[in-house]
Amino acid sequence: MSEQTSLPQSLEAPDLGALSVSIQRLSERIALIQDAVKNLVQDRALQENKIEDAQKRIQHILSRLPEQSDGRQLNLLGEAVPPNNTEDDNEPTTH
């Protein structure tokens, strides 16, 4: 009455061919993921550069705006427009 304690053949000696195929498939997937991550990093860097350029352009435009106390109009594409003489056009207010 001796019992056999051995495992089935498939568990004792795993199929090395199937294991090799699985490892190869995982390696290919890892390579694809690494390429995708690399592309995302490059895209992010490009987007950050675009944002930085846009911020610089906005800051340049804002720096050309007259101060709030300055009543002149400004042509953002060119030079400042000479101020209008508001005293000639409007009657004084009394409020």
Closest CA to 84 of 93, 73, 76: 73
d(C-alpha 80, C-alpha 59), whole Å: 17
pLDDT tens for the 95 residues of the chain, in order? 455 555 455 554 568 888 999 999 999 999 999 999 999 999 999 999 999 999 999 999 988 887 766 656 655 566 555 556 555 555 556 65
Task: Look up the pTM and report it.
Answer: 0.49
Main-chain dihedrals φ then ψ at residue 77, nearest 5 degrees: -95, -10
Helix (H, G, I), strand (E, B) or coil at 49: helix
Main-chain dihedrals φ then ψ at residue 91, nearest 5 degrees: -85, 150
Helix (H, G, I), strand (E, B) or coil at 9: helix
